[in-house]
């Protein structure tokens, strides 16, 4: 694998580095931000879900924009928009301002991640895709690893606002690397005309996703009348259903759902959703458990929770050979079970649990989780024709962000239920409130097995390389 084949996935993964750094830093700083803005810690999940919701709403535009304006150009402009949103978040004075600027951040993130993945899939041969995907995971893993440390150090020694300001220089670096190393249009090469923009389809997707996720977010919080929640949820489901019906009858839909006919892609999108919901919930719960449940400082919490990113980074050493030895299906089945056991083991943590033991357990959980996700992402695109890659990357990223958003909402709801069951309230969380949440996450993770067991044993054989 040449240096350029390694460099392209690293550069296009810079947006994921920014996103993971942003999310993990913010998760570590949630209690401090809550005190500064005078809100309950669980209410700050609005700032997280607003970002993820914005991603889900604007993601359908990414494929069309890449075809219309050029992938590298859209990629650079998206990173710039994300950096601008980050700077404004650092200036926010209220929760409402923070949520608004997080939506702007999400608009940038919605374009930069799928377009970067599209550049990768178009630039790397299939035989080298496993290795490329492994390198693709390195920057986001470093972002997750630095995030808790950055968050803990920033909150301990300076203002929480710097957790957002730090994204700006990284964003500028990502733009410079993209302009220098990523392939652009060849001189004199005429790009094929993109299909006409499906404005009606975009409107249906935006309405449906906003209404459904908004309903989930406000459910049980008494913010609006119950009948209005049901109405909003019904409108959202209806809008998504109309989009599905209409997309089958439209020559050039914004997102062509017929790509779900490919078994490996369907397993990656639908089967991977429970896994991704758990991935979204756990980083939200861990810092809260360490700080509010166990009484650790933000820096101590960051030094412990960085273990999951260390485990994910170690994946690069073993995953390629493991896929070549076992194949995709056995690896997905095994890592899903082990990931579920890892989440279940987190429920056994108490304030008296030795910190080295917590670190080792989190590191093992990060390793098996990352191995499964690398295998799933690589296998998912194995059957997709090149001309339809933009649809595949857009839908995959949209499903991923929806799952992560649901994971944050799921984690917050589980904590609220556990607190009420204990007789307390979500404003005063106790260490025991986190154990039921992690047991529930462990059970949800196992639902992915229902899809993975249906995979062909030889699925992705052409991607396994010489080690197989």
CA dihedral sign of residues 263, 9, 74, 51? positive
Q: Are 41 and 165 in contact (CB under 8 A)?
A: no
Distance of CA 37 to the CA centre of its chain: 26
pTM, to two decimals: 0.72
**Nearest of 84, 35, 107 to residue 298 by alpha carbon:** 35
**Nearest of 70, 74, 72 to residue 191 by alpha carbon:** 70
The number of beta carbons lying within 10 Å of the beta carbon of residue 1 is 15
Domain boundaries, the chain: 3-181+254-463, 200-253
Q: What is the CATH number of domain 3-181+254-463?
A: 1.20.1250.20
Q: What is the pLDDT of residue 468?
A: 41
Dihedral angle computed from the Cα positions of residues 243, 249, 254 and 256, in that order, rounded to the nearest 10 degrees: 100
Q: What are phi and psi of 184, to 5 degrees?
A: -105, -175
Kindly give, in sequence order, each residue whose CB lies less than 8 Å from that of residue 428, ignoring residues fewer than 6 positions away: 419
Q: Are 438 and 285 in contact (CB under 8 A)?
A: yes
Q: What is the pLDDT of residue 179?
A: 84
Whole-angstrom Cα distance, residue 73 to residue 68?
A: 10
Per-residue pLDDT of the chain (468 residues; tens, 9 = 90+): 455 556 777 777 777 777 777 776 776 777 778 888 888 776 776 777 788 778 777 877 877 788 788 888 888 899 999 999 999 998 888 888 888 999 998 888 888 877 877 777 777 766 667 677 767 777 776 776 677 677 777 777 888 888 888 888 888 888 888 888 777 665 555 555 666 788 898 889 888 877 887 776 666 555 667 778 788 889 989 999 999 999 888 877 888 888 888 888 898 899 899 998 888 888 788 888 888 888 888 778 878 888 887 888 777 777 777 877 888 889 999 999 999 999 999 989 989 899 999 999 999 998 898 888 888 888 888 788 877 787 788 888 778 777 877 887 788 888 878 777 776 666 667 777 888 889 999 999 999 999 999 888 887 776 665 444
Q: Are 403 and 276 in contact (CB under 8 A)?
A: yes
The number of beta carbons lying within 10 Å of the beta carbon of residue 7 is 14
* Both tokens assigned to 60: 């359908």
Q: What is the pLDDT of residue 467?
A: 43
User: What are the CA-CA distances from residue 41 to residues 37, 175, 284 (Å)?
Assistant: 10, 34, 11
Whole-angstrom Cα distance, residue 131 to residue 126?
A: 10
Kindly give, in sequence order, each residue whose CB lies less than 8 Å from that of residue 206, ignoring residues fewer than 6 positions away: 57, 60
Whole-angstrom Cα distance, residue 385 to residue 256?
A: 13
């Amino acid at each position: 694998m040449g240096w350029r084949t390694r460099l392209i996935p690293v550069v296009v993964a810079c947006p994921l580095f920014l996103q993971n750094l942003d999310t993990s830093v913010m998760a570590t700083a949630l209690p401090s931000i809550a005190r500064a803005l005078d809100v309950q810690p669980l209410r700050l999940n609005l700032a997280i879900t607003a970002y993820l919701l914005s991603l889900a709403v604007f993601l359908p535009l990414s494929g069309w924009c890449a075809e219309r304006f050029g992938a590298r150009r859209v990629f650079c402009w998206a990173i710039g928009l994300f950096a601008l949103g980050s700077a404004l978040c650092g200036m926010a004075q209220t929760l409402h301002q923070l949520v608004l600027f997080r939506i702007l951040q999400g608009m940038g993130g919605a374009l930069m991640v799928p377009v970067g993945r599209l550049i990768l899939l178009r630039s790397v041969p299939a035989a080298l895709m496993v290795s490329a995907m492994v390198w693709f995971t390195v920057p986001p893993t470093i972002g997750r690893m630095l995030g808790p440390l950055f968050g803990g150090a920033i909150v301990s020694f300076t203002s929480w606002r710097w957790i957002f300001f730090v994204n700006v220089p990284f964003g500028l670096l990502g733009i410079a690397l993209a302009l220098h190393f990523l392939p652009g249009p060849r001189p004199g090469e005429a790009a094929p005309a993109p299909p006409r923009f499906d404005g009606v389809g975009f409107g249906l997707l935006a309405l449906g996703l906003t209404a459904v996720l908004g309903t989930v977010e406000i459910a049980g919080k008494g913010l609006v009348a119950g009948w209005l929640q049901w109405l909003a949820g019904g409108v959202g489901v209806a809008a998504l259903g109309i989009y599905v019906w209409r997309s089958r009858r439209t020559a050039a839909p914004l997102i062509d759902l017929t790509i779900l006919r490919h078994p490996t892609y369907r397993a990656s999108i639908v089967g991977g959703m429970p896994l991704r919901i758990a991935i979204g919930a756990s980083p939200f719960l861990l810092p809260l458990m360490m700080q509010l449940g166990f009484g650790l400082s933000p820096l101590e919490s960051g030094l412990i929770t960085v273990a999951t990113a260390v485990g994910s980074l170690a994946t690069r050493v073993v995953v390629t050979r493991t896929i070549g030895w076992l194949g995709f299906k056995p690896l997905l089945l095994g890592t899903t079970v082990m990931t579920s056991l890892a989440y279940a083991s987190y429920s056994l943590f108490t304030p008296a649990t030795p910190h080295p033991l917590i670190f080792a357990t989190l590191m093992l959980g990060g390793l098996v989780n990352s191995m499964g996700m690398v295998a799933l992402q690589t296998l998912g695109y194995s059957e997709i024709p090149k001309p339809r890659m933009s649809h595949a990357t857009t839908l995959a990223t949209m499903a991923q962000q929806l799952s992560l958003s649901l994971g944050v909402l799921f984690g917050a709801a589980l904590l609220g239920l556990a607190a009420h069951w204990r007789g307390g309230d979500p404003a005063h969380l106790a260490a025991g409130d986190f154990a039921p949440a992690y047991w529930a996450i462990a059970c949800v993770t196992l639902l992915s097995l229902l899809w993975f067991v249906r995979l062909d044993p030889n699925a992705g054989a052409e991607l396994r390389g010489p080690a197989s």
